[in-house]
Amino acid sequence: MFDRDSQECIPTLSLISQYIHNTLWDELYLYMENEFQTKPQYEFSRCSWEHGWNVKFKKGSRSICTVYPRQGFLTVMVVIGPKEKEMFEELLPTMDERIQDIYMHTKEGNHQKWLMIDLEDKNQVYEDLKMILHIRADGKMK
C-alpha cells in the first residue's frame, strides 16, 4: 500500500495509480509520455506546504508540471512564467471559468504564478490543462 507521506514507501506507477484510484491519472500519464516523451520522476518533498510524494514531468531540464496524488483525484501544478505569460493570458478568456478563477486568485512571485489545478474528471478543465501544458513545454499552443 502506498503512503504519500512516508519517505520509506517509494512509489511506482502502479502504486500511484492505485492510490489515486481515478483513470484520469492513467490518461494524463500516457498523455505526458506520448506528447512530450517524458517519464515521471518521483520526488519526496519535505515542504510544509505540500509535504509528501509528488510526480514531476520534465522535458529535458525544463519542468512541465508536478502532480500531487490525492485519493480520488490529483492536483497538477503548472508554473506560468514570463515566457508563457503573454500566450497564456491571450488564451485565458477561452478557458473554463475554474482555470480563469485559479489564475486570477494566484499571487505572482518572481514574475511567476504557480497554478494548482485539481482534476477529478474528464471535463473542460482537463482539456484546458493539456493546452496549458503545451504552452509550458513548447512555448506554443497545440
pLDDT tens figures, 6-29: 888 889 999 999 999 999 999 999
Residue span of the structural domain in which 55 resides: 13-137
How far apart (Å, rounded) are the C-alpha atoms in residues 9 and 4? 8
Res. 89 pLDDT band, cuts 50 70 90 = very high
The verdict on residue 8 lying in a domain is: no
Residue 6 inside a domain? The answer is no
Residue 97 forms part of a structural domain? yes
pLDDT digits (tens, 9 = 90+) for 90-100: 999 999 999 99
Query: For position 106, what pLDDT does the model report?
Result: 96
Domain count, the chain: 1
- Decide if 142 is inside a domain: no
Q: 3-state class of 130 per DSSP?
A: helix
Give the mean pLDDT of 33-52.
Answer: 89
Q: Answer yes or no: is 76 within a domain.
A: yes
φ, ψ at 59 (rounded to 5°): -115, 105
Q: Which residue has the cell 506528447?
A: 35
Mean pLDDT of the chain: 92
Residue 31 belongs to a domain:
yes
Report which residue type is found at 102.
I
Is residue 52 one of the residues assigned to a domain? yes
Mean pLDDT of 72-90: 95
Q: Look up the CATH number of the domain holding residue 107.
A: 3.90.1150
What pTM was computed for the model? 0.92
pLDDT score of 103 more than 90? yes
Considering the domain boundaries, does residue 32 fall inside one? yes
Nearest by Cα to 84 from 102, 55, 62: 62
Distance of alpha carbon 66 from alpha carbon 93, whole angstroms: 24
141 pLDDT more than 80: no
